[in-house]
Amino acid sequence: MEQRIKDNLKDIVGEDNFTDSLIDMIAYSKDASEFTHRPEAAVWPTCTEETASVLKLANDERFPVVARGAGTSLAGLAVPEQGGLIMDMGRMDKILEINIEDRLVVVQPGVVYADLDKQLAPHGFCFPPDPASGSVCTLGGNVATNAGGIKGAKYGTTKDYVLALEVAMPDGRVLRTGSRCMKTSSGYDLTKLFVGSEGTLGVITEITLKINPKPPLLSTAMGMFDDLEDAGRAVSEIMHSGILPCALEIVDQQTLRAINQNTDLNLPEVEAILVAETDGYTQEETEYQIEKVADIFRRNNASTVRRADDRQEAEALWTARKSAYGVMARINNNLFVEDLAVPMSKVPTMLRAISDIAKKYDLKIPTVGHAGDGNLHPCISCDATDAEEMARVEKASKELFEKVTELRGTLTGEHGIGMAKAPIMWMEHDELSMEIMRNIKQVFDPNNILNPGKMGL
């Protein structure tokens, strides 16, 4: 990037909000995935006008811009594949409005998920998606990836809560989409088009989110299964039983081993554990639901069914689940976190396929997942410096995704396409769909300056 462009950027955002230092460029060359590529400079815009002016400059001078939240993407979404500028939204981090009467909040994109949660808690409200990275990831990142989490089965994902957006476009104009209403049938849904768009259509500068009342009471149960398919069948049966747990998570044997090696939780190393949580406003309500779930665990041959006796014990179970990536990362040098989803009835088939593929290619593929919405995270543990092992990883990944498409699932339930899935998007989307997506990109970003190389576009 030429010095005169860097000077222009400093004029727009100020000296303190610009960097091209080597240490910053190295930090911005990565997110939480395995991908890496260095940008040439970075800015921290502090308002919509600065964001729009930077984009206009980039569009006029034709350099790439990658918006960045906390950089926790697991699929290379925030890596500047073609260099250029990182636009770190972290300094636009104000909660602008909490409006309980209208059941909404208005936030800047750099607000951290957990900070909003903390502010909503005293009102008895929440923004439900609850990604496991919630203590650090930003709401702008959540919207741009359509983030989900352990509450997905009952409460949906980010897209179900985005009411309106303010978006800076590449030509420097500012677009306002949506409304403050709980419903609308007015025109094409431009708001939803930006949800999950991975920073390829515009940079989100303000978000209006619907919020939910948070049921105060929870009951938790854990079922231990000696057979993976029994666990899968239990998931499927629960989800059409009429009971909707607010969380239903699966942890497989290899993950349990990793948890036991790194914590003092001492969990039984069975083929799979299911952890379920039900919520409500009376103890009777949550207990009634969780007993139904426990019955289904038993009917599907759970060797043990345990109820968390108090909140502390339940929290310990969730800590184990949420620490899964951390402990898995200790198994070997590299961890490729996959993110497939299949229709609910296919969960047992997919779980067995993952286990068979791991055996076939002699790989460790510990798997956790939001079983309640069919979203599984097989995590391929490997050593990326071992060429022979990497050849096996490649074959195993290919087979995994062939199985997903055969079961009419999706390549990514919540992490996005990014760099990881761009080369295989065709497996899920036919040529006409890809052509329409390319045309949409052309309308919003005709010079392809926004996060180029992502989404298979």
Residues that bind ligand FAD (CB under 6 A): 31-32, 66-74, 77-78, 89, 109, 131-133, 137-138, 140-142, 144-145, 147-149, 198-199, 203-204, 325, 414-415, 451
Q: How far apart, in whole angstroms, are the C-alpha atoms of residue 137 and residue 119?
A: 16
Least separation, in Å, of the C-beta of 323 and ligand FAD?
A: 9
Q: How far is the CB of 176 from ligand FAD (least distance, A)?
A: 15
Q: How many CB atoms lie within 10 A of CB 141?
A: 32
| Neighbouring residues of 450: CB distance < 8 A, sequence distance ≥ 6 | 55, 64, 65, 66, 67, 170, 199, 200, 201, 202, 203, 444
Contact call for residues 220 and 283 (beta carbons, < 8 A) = no
Q: Indicate the DSSP class of residue 281.
A: S
Smallest distance from the beta carbon of 218 to ligand FAD, in angstroms?
Answer: 18
**Nearer to ligand FAD by C-beta: 32 or 246?**
32
Which of 415/441 has CB closer to ligand FAD? 415
Question: Please, are residues 425 and 456 in contact by the beta-carbon 8 Å criterion?
Answer: yes
Strand ranges of the sheet holding 203-210, from the earlier edge strand across to the other edge? 95-99, 104-107, 203-210, 162-168, 174-178
Nearer to ligand FAD among residue 95 and residue 305 (C-beta): 95
Amino acid at 63: F
CB atoms within 10 A of CB 265: 13
CB of 198 to ligand FAD, least distance (A): 4
- What are the structure tokens assigned to 5, written together? 């462009």
Nearer to ligand FAD, 199 or 372 (CB): 199
The nearest distance, CB 284 to ligand FAD, in angstroms, is 31
Residue 49 or 287 having the CB closest to ligand FAD: 49
State the greatest distance between any 2 C-alpha atoms of the chain, in Å, as a whole number: 70
State in angstroms the smallest separation of the CB of 298 from ligand FAD: 29
Nearest to ligand FAD of 207, 270 (CB atom): 207
Closest CA to 183 of 191, 174, 193: 191
Looking at the Cβ atoms of 131 and 232, the one nearer to ligand FAD is: 131
Q: How far is CA 312 from CA 222, 361, 380, in A?
A: 14, 40, 31
- Residue 53 or 300: which CB sits closer to ligand FAD? 53
User: Which CB, 270 or 340, lies closer to ligand FAD?
Assistant: 340
d(CA 409, CA 14) in angstroms, rounded, equals 47
CB of 90 to ligand FAD, least distance (A): 9
Place of tokens 């500068």: 205
Indicate the residue among 128 and 280 with the shorter CB distance to ligand FAD: 128
Query: How does DSSP assign 143-194, residue by residue?
Result: HHHT---TTHHHH--GGGTEEEEEEE-TTS-EEEEE-SSS----SS-HHHHH
Cβ partners under 8 Å of residue 328, min gap 6: 255, 258, 335, 366, 379, 381
User: Nearest approach, Cβ of 207 to ligand FAD (angstroms)?
Assistant: 8
CB of 349 to ligand FAD, least distance (A): 23
The CB-of-192 to ligand FAD minimum distance in angstroms stands at 14
Round to whole Å and give the CA distance between 232 and 370.
Answer: 12
Closest distance to ligand FAD from the beta carbon of 204 (Å): 4
Task: Read off the tokens for 411.
Answer: 């390549």
Q: Are 342 and 350 in contact (CB under 8 A)?
A: yes
Residue closer to ligand FAD, measured from CB, 280 or 416: 416
